Amino acid sequence: MSVHIEKTLVLLKPDAVQRGIMGKVITRFEDVGLKIIGMKLVQSDKDMAGEHYDEDVAKRRGDHVRNRAMDLLLSGPVLAMVIEGVNAVENVRKMCGTTEPMSAPPGTIRGDFSHVSYGHCDEKEIAIRNIIHASGDKEYAKKEIKIWFTPEEIFDYKAVHEMHTR
């Protein structure tokens, strides 16, 4: 396998699930040739949410941000996906747009499906509802995939475009 072929974790957060836009987001990844090799609807518990938003998040962004993010993750089901492809971590993050939806450009997932700002969420003391989580780098991707998936839940198969480009 090429060193450029990577796996990354994507979570469609409860706000995406509740709004019924999962299919629209999945289609974006498939349209660019990324491959979904694991997918399931999960209701996170407090331990899983705490492992996902670990102490590093609290150090980088503060306990209040971590706690709000955990509350959002616990508020409903999450669609968890493992996505594979060329430079998948970077490509998926570009497709998602910046964490703050108000700053995310049109054409990105957050820019097209959400609009809230950090200021609004801070004022309301709520988590930023930004539709999606994508692993920040290759190391986080490996760690996060293990939180959400067992090895048996991740599949290896050839997509049509892979079979025709070799």
pLDDT digits over 129-162, tens only? 999 999 999 999 999 999 999 999 999 999 887 7
pLDDT digits over 28-44, tens only? 999 999 999 999 999 99
Given 52, 115, 120, 133, the catalytic residue: 133
Measured CA to CA, the distance from residue 164 to residue 84 in angstroms comes to 17
133 is catalytic: yes
b/e map of 17-39 (b: 16 or more CB within 10 Å)?
A: beeebbeebbebbeeeebbbbbb
Q: pLDDT band for 60, please (50, 70, 90 cuts).
A: confident
CATH class of the domain defined by 5-150: alpha beta
pLDDT digits over 75-120, tens only? 999 999 999 999 999 999 999 999 999 999 999 999 999 999 999 9
